[in-house]
Amino acid sequence: MEGKFEGTGDYIASKALRSAVDVAVAIQRPLLVKGEPGTGKTLLAEAVAASMKAPLIRWQVRSTTRAVEGLYHYDTVRRLHDSRFGDREVTDIAAYIDLGSLGRAFEAQERHVVLIDEIDKADLEFPNDLLHELDVMSFTIPETGRVVAARHRPVVIITSNNEKELPDAFLRRCVFHWIDFPDRELMSDIVQVHHPDIERELLAGALEAFYRLRSTAGLRKPPSTSELVDWISALRHSGIPAEQLLGAKLPFLGTLLKKEQDLAAIEGEGRRRG
Amino acid sequence: MSVAGAGQVFLSLLFELRAAGVPVSTQGWLAFLDALGKGAHGASLDGLYHVARCVLIQSESQYDVFDQVFGHVFKDVPYDRKALLDDIEGWLRDPRPSMSLDPSIRAMLEELGIDELRRQFEERLAEQKERHDGGSKWIGTGGTSPFGTGGAHPSGVRLGGGGGRSALAVADARRYRAFRKDRVLDTRQMAAALRRLRRLTRKGHDEELDLDSTVRETARNCGDLEIVMRPPRKNDVRLVLLLDVGGSMDPHAQLVSRLFSAAHRGGGFRELRSYYFHNCVYGKVYEDAQFERPVPVQELFRELDQNWYLVMVGDAWMHPGELTMTSGSFWAPSRGPSGLGWLAKLADRFPHSGWLNPEPDRFWDAPSIHAIRALFRMFPLSLAGLDDLVRELPNAPRPEQRHLVHEVLREAS
């Protein structure tokens, strides 16, 4: 088995996640990563690419994205335009074909990491349309008859926010990992990546307050890692002492809670307790 | 333990997962063997746990079941686990490793009978829960069993990357219970479920360039540009929610409000209306939960056609008398249809209708619920129930159901 994924200096991965990456690379299947927003799904691809020293190609999926866009794009409008107004030679269709994210990774001279980000945003049929290409890592461009086959099978990482369920046939071909919300220990490591010289008391106090807040029942959007990191920046910037984090009223609550209802609920509670 | 022993343990993992309703496919199983063959488990039980989970499980809603099955299978493994892990290697090196599994799976499944397997599994699960509460036999951390972290068993194998909890302890902790699909989940997941109700159609103004037709028409036009526009695709589903509030629904208020906000924010419906009622519908529903702005049901019938989807949300839990009453008040003069009659009218007007009930379905034999189930397809207000509702709504109701609705209507008139 080749080198194991250990995370990188900036990206801390749990054992389960490292193991899932290793398995996906070893058995050459796409890695599907799901998890709460803000648990670093997208960053994972960058970390894997960095640790493998492979270039990363990112394919951001939107609600209108079609599967074929990841393979290639035939610019009919451009060709139409050229045929009418241009002085270019328009009989060569190949000149109007651009490879998409997967297509470029297939044709590349070295192994790439491809991130298919937020696959659940696309239409329900989108994943099914990619099944075959991800299986055999090759496709044909019908307009020109050209076959694009992977020189090096790319490492494919797919993220989903669970907005739509993915088809079973697609799931069966993936290695699956659900990114847990980090526990305190892991979170403390993550925070220290962003704030290497943070005082021990402040870190402990902030984590304590953060997890207490997250455990409040009925929050519409519980704060995630990035909000914690921002909050700690704000705390440090204004020199708030750790003791103040133990009280009922937290400073800069708006950095942690983004929903008005959540803010109102927590502040209301603080008043009652305080 | 023999090489066959390791094979046996793995097969029981496969069978128990399947018996517990995790759809492990042959393909998934082969991938698992492939990963083991490449040494992805790093010769530790902990590694084995992670490899098995990421290859065999495809949804966080199955993590909990997986944890239980894994704990159960490997708890029964003889204590010398070093031997088991060595056996894996041997078992995989066997020239017939991945092979003949398929026929043998089938043979064994037939021999055992899936139902029997499930029964045994459930029995043991129940037993396991008790033991866990007692806390003496189930494998944990720091003990003398070879399964724990920092344990002192002579033949124990190091588990986890130092300080991490052992696979079995992790499995035992059931941290993924919250992801189970049969449990009620949050707004976002409800919205995701509701979104599947959509029916995309092209209606409205021509706002989008229809590229294919433009190319075709331009070619037909001897190369002179001929632009063709078309309306964008939009969700064509219109949904009306009728929510029971107050009284016996109070304990479910939060759940219903989540469903409500999921439908409003995430549903993406062409049109969405919601009204409130208390206990049963008697001629009027209300625009607000304080029952201050009444809307006659007849007006709904006028404004909304039969293509609207109707979702009733309520516990359908009332005194049978309340179904036969003609209004919400005991003092009102008795004329017009009864509560059940009004419900039948609704069911008749909106064939694409369903009832979400927050009460667990073991209570659904109560007389009032029974009567209402004759009129509406009823589903539990859980993620699984919502899934079923979403699947069922686009279909017309069964003829028996239509028949029952008509019968109630005849009696009411």
Q: Write out pLDDT tens, residues B68-112.
A: 888 888 776 654 555 666 666 665 554 333 333 445 554 554 454
* Structural domain includes residue A155: yes
- Nearest of B164, B176, B138, B167 to residue B41 by alpha carbon: B167
Distance from CA of B50 to the nearest CA of A (A): 6
My answer on whether B342 and B230 are in the same domain is no
Could you give the number of structural domains in chain B?
3
Identify the domain boundary among A139, A158, A179: A179
Per residue in B212-257, pLDDT (tens digit) is 888 888 888 887 878 888 887 777 788 888 888 877 777 777 778 7
Is residue A115's pLDDT more than 90? yes
Question: Which bin fits A252, alpha (ψ -120 to 50), beta or left (φ > 0)?
Answer: left
Segment among A251-265, B53-67, B191-205 with least mean pLDDT? B191-205
Whether A2 shows a pLDDT value over 80: the answer reads no
**A163 contact residues in B (CB cutoff 8 A):** 188, 191-192, 195
* pLDDT for A186 beyond 60: yes
User: Cβ contact (<8 Å) for B23 and A163?
Assistant: no
Distance CA B149, CA B169 (A): 9
A162 torsion bin: left (phi>0), alpha (psi -120 to 50), beta (else): left
Q: How far apart are CA A29 and CA A134, in angstroms?
A: 8
Residue A25, domain member (yes or no): yes
- pLDDT score recorded for residue B294: 86
Q: How far apart are CA B231 and CA B213, in angstroms?
A: 13
Question: Do A58 and A194 share a structural domain?
Answer: no
| Confidence tier at B327 by pLDDT (50, 70, 90) | low
Residue A66 has pLDDT above 50, yes or no: yes
Structural domain includes residue A9? no
Size of interface A-B (CB pairs under 8 A): 90
How far off is chain B from A91, nearest CA to CA, in Å? 14
A255 shares its domain with A224: yes
CA angle B218, A126, A99 (to 5 degrees): 60
Looking at the fold, whether A63 and A150 belong to one and the same domain comes out as: yes
Within this chain, do residues B225 and B114 fall inside the same structural domain, yes or no?
no
For residues A136 and A228, membership in a common domain is answered with: no
Kind of pairing, strands B284-286 and A97-99?
unpaired
Residue B149 within a domain: yes
The answer to whether residue A265 sits within a structural domain is yes
Q: Which amino acid is at B235?
A: N
Do A57 and A77 sit in the same domain of this protein? yes
Partner-chain residue, chosen from A83, A162, A175, that has the shortest CB–CB distance to B54: A175
Give the HSE-up count for residue B318: Cα atoms under 13 Å, Cβ half-sphere: 24
Co-location of B35 and B65 in the same domain = yes
pLDDT in tens, B228-240: 888 877 777 888 8
Q: Do A117 and A46 fall into the same domain?
A: yes
Q: Are A106 and A137 in the same domain?
A: yes
Give how far the C-alpha of residue B67 lies from the chain's centroid of Cα atoms, to the nearest Å. Answer: 19
Same domain, A148 and A258: no
Does residue B192 fall inside a structural domain?
Answer: no
> Of A160, A179, A198, which marks where a domain is finished?
A179
DSSP state of B285: E
pLDDT for residue B173 is more than 70 = no
| ipTM confidence score | 0.79
The size of chain B, in residues, is: 413
My answer on whether A105 and A193 are in the same domain is no
What is the Cα–Cα distance from A258 to A261, expressed in whole angstroms?
9
pLDDT-derived band of residue B149, with 50, 70 and 90 as boundaries? very low
Q: Is residue A195 part of a domain?
A: yes
Residue B188 lies in a domain: no
Residue B53 sits in the same domain as residue B144: yes
Chosen from B34, B44, B58, B254 to mutate, greatest number of chain A CBs within 10 A: B58
The answer to whether residues A193 and A219 belong to one domain is yes
Q: Tell me how many domains chain A contains.
A: 2
pLDDT reading at B138 higher than 60:
no
- Give the pair of three-digit tokens for residue A202: 């402040």
Query: Do B271 and B398 reside in the same domain of the chain?
Result: yes
Same domain, A252 and A211: yes
Q: How confident is the model at residue A140 (pLDDT cuts 50, 70, 90)?
A: very high
CA distance A233 to chain B (A): 29
Q: Which of A27, A168, A224 should be substituted to probe chain B, the one whose Cβ sees the most B Cβ atoms within 10 Å?
A: A27
Question: pLDDT class for A239, splitting at 50, 70, 90?
Answer: confident
Residues near B127 by beta carbon (within 8 Å), at least 6 away in sequence: none
Residue contact B54–A19, C-beta within 8 A: yes
SS3 state of residue A152: coil
Question: Is the CB of residue A42 less than 8 Å from the CB of residue A117?
Answer: yes
Residue B197 lies in a domain: no
Of A27, A76, A178, the CB nearest to B35: A27
A137 within a domain of the structure (yes/no)? yes
Claim to verify: residue B269 and residue B222 sit in the same structural domain? no
Give residue A138's domain range: 15-179
Of A76, A162, A220, the CB nearest to B215: A76
Closest by CA position to B380, among listed B277, B280, B255: B255
Residue after which a domain boundary falls, among A144, A161, A179: A179
Specify whether the CB–CB gap between B410 and B215 falls below 8 A.
no
- Is residue B372 domain-shared with residue B268, that is, in the same domain? yes
- What distance in Å separates residue B248's CA from the closest CA in chain A? 21
Name every chain B residue with its beta carbon within 8 A of the beta carbon of A19: 40, 47, 50-51, 54
Are B264 and B207 members of one domain?
no
Give the bridge partners for B233, in sequence order.
B202
Q: Which residue has the tokens 């059931």?
A: B174
Which residues in chain A have their CB less than 8 angstroms from residue B55's CB? 23, 27, 175-176
For chain A, what is the mean pLDDT?
86
> What are the start-end ranges of the E strands in chain A?
31-35, 56-60, 72-74, 97-99, 113-117, 138-141, 146-149, 155-160, 175-179
Residues B148 and B79 in one domain: yes
| Domain presence at residue B87 | yes
Tell whether A154 and A194 lie within a shared domain.
Answer: no
- What residues of B are in the A interface, CB distance below 8 Å? 23, 25, 27-28, 31, 34-35, 38-40, 46-47, 50-51, 53-55, 57-60, 63, 160-161, 164, 175-176, 179, 187-189, 191-192, 195-196, 211, 214-215, 218, 223-225, 254
Provide the residue range defining the domain that includes B214.
202-235
Residues B350 and B215 in one domain: no
Strands (E), B147-293: 200-202, 208-209, 229-230, 233-235, 238-244, 271-277, 284-286
In a domain, B114, yes or no: yes
A2 within a domain of the structure (yes/no): no
Q: Buried b / exposed e across B52-83, counting CB within 10 Å, b at 16+?
A: bbbbbbbbbbbbbbbbbbbbbbbbebeebbeb
Confirm if B264 and B272 have CB atoms less than 8 A apart: yes
pLDDT tier at B336, thresholds 50, 70, 90: low
